[in-house]
Copies of this chain bind each other. A is one copy, B any other.
Amino acid sequence: MNVCSYVSIRTPSVSVNRVCVFSAKKTGNFFSFLFLCKKYDIMESAKNICEVTAMALKAVLFDLDNTLYDFSTAHKLALRAMAEYGESRFDVPARRFLLAYQQADKQLKEELPYVAACHNRVLISQRMLELLGLPSVVTPLELYETYWSTLLHSIKPREGVVELLSRLHHQRIRTGICTDMTAHIQHRKIAALGIAGYLDVMVSSEEAGVEKPNPKIFHDCLNKLHVRPNEALFIGDSFERDVCGAHAAGLIPFWLNTTNEPAPEADFRYKELHSLKELL
């Protein structure tokens, strides 16, 4: 079966168990995707909305950084390696390198808001060196490779990621990554995580020309998959970029809140997850 049904239960009188039974009868393939809507249904129930709808679920889209792997920890390791390389190469204290990184990062995000280039470590490295009055032609490549080789060697998929992607793949639900950042490094991350075989498409903000939460990047990804927005879930860690963005683009948003932040107020429905294992 190519299409798996997504059922949103909107009645307070239906318990989770009854939802399962009802849905299992309604659509032959329900049990295979129950993991995707169980908690969402409970939340819906609490809202006293009396309505039952069934729709086709054709794709699950994911954010990459901090969603499929722990970026924050790897980033700190990689930054330290970069600063230590700078210290040994130029005899400038690692602390000054880290300060220059922050300044360069800030400048580029101000100069190039909403486009992928503001994340590019080659540009950040080049600007760092310029700020420090060090040779800024070619040397940025060395800093770039120090940063990324450290990060790429340290990352691994979050718990449940491989199993979830594999399950979706076998259920023939299409999968995609929709990510801010340059395409080159995102392809390298996907290769390092070993998950390329389970993914159908990737859209980077470099390709879309805009960053999340701009709906264009979500629609570009869906267009590649030939899937309509309401036929797709989106799972990401950033409430503003991923959840609000996916909602604005018409997808069903899932918020991966691994740090247990308080849930933000929102005038639309979304499902909160604390781990991708919850979806298994």
A residues near B, CB below 8 A? 108, 111-112, 115-117, 120, 122-123, 126, 130, 135-138, 140-141, 144, 177, 182-184, 187-188, 190-191, 196, 199-202, 204, 206-207, 209, 224
Docked-complex contact A123 and B207, CB < 8 angstroms? yes
Give chain B residues whose Cβ lies under 8 Å from the Cβ of A137: 177, 187, 190, 196, 199-202
CA distance A144 to B191 in the complex (A): 14
For the residues of A in contact with B, the DSSP-based class is helix
A/B interface sample: 11 pairs, CB < 8 A: A117-B206, A120-B182, A126-B183, A126-B202, A126-B207, A136-B202, A137-B187, A140-B183, A141-B188, A182-B182, A184-B184
| Interfacial chain B residues near A209, Cβ < 8 Å | 111-112, 115, 117
Decide: A184 and B117 in contact? CB cutoff 8 A: no
Is A140 touching B224 in the complex (CB atoms < 8 A)? no
A16 to B224 alpha-carbon distance, docked (Å): 63
* Residues of chain B with a CB closer than 8 A to A206's CB: 117, 120, 123
Contact of A141 among B116, B122, B177, B191 (CB under 8 A): B191
Task: For the complex, give the distance between the alpha carbons of A191 and B187 in Å.
Answer: 24
A201 lies within 8 A of B117 (CB): no
Is B207's CB under 8 angstroms from A144's CB?
A: no
Chain B residue numbers with a CB within 8 Å of A204 are 123
